[in-house]
């Protein structure tokens, strides 16, 4: 688990860090905007990643976006982040494949050069059939 995903904060601390009331966090949870981890005693625990998400939710709601709109924006941002990660992954695979192809072509050239035997220059007469 990444450091940013470790659930460290109780609801009151998370609310303070995000600049909202603890009841607002409960509303966000009911609306499916955030899903804090739970202790064995069922207490909510929020991670740095959760705090960043809460701040993003606040940013959007302060701009007048409804909670339904916030959900859609966050889902689209997550989809975009996954797509960009996949593109980077594919680009790296393509770069590796290109490097492998260049090396294979260079190796083929080296092997063919060894197979070539120099032929002394000679004049060859070609007869034409009558």
| Residue where the block lists tokens 């966090």 | 25
1-64: CATH topology = Multidrug-efflux Transporter Regulator; Chain: A; Domain 2 (1.10.1660)
3-class DSSP state of 46: strand
pLDDT at 118: 67
Give the separation between CA 25 and CA 14, rounded to whole angstroms. Answer: 9
If you search the block for the tokens 């709601």, which residue do you land on? 61
DSSP letter at 3?
G
Write down the pLDDT at residue 55: 95
Query: Across-strand partners of 46?
Result: 9
pLDDT at 116: 63
The predicted pLDDT at position 64 comes to 97
Which pLDDT belongs to residue 81? Answer: 97
The pLDDT assigned to 6 comes to 80
48-62 vs 22-30: helix axis angle to the nearest 10? 90
**Structure tokens, 93:** 């695979």
Q: Tens-of-pLDDT digits for all 130 residues of the chain?
A: 666 678 789 999 999 999 999 999 999 999 999 999 998 888 899 999 999 999 999 999 999 999 999 999 999 999 999 999 999 999 999 999 999 999 999 988 888 776 666 667 766 677 777 6
């Amino acid at each position: 688990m990444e450091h940013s995903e470790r659930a460290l904060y109780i609801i009151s601390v998370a609310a303070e860090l995000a600049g909202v009331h603890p009841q607002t966090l409960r509303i966000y949870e009911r609306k499916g905007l955030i899903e804090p981890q739970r202790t064995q005693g069922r207490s909510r625990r929020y991670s740095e990643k959760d705090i960043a998400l809460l701040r993003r939710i606040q940013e959007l709601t302060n701009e007048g976006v409804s909670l339904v709109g916030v959900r859609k924006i966050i889902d689209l941002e997550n989809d975009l982040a996954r797509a960009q990660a996949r593109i980077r992954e594919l680009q790296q695979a393509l770069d590796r494949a290109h490097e492998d192809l260049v090396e294979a072509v260079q190796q083929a050239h080296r092997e063919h050069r060894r197979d070539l035997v120099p032929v002394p220059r000679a004049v060859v007469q070609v007869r034409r059939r009558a």
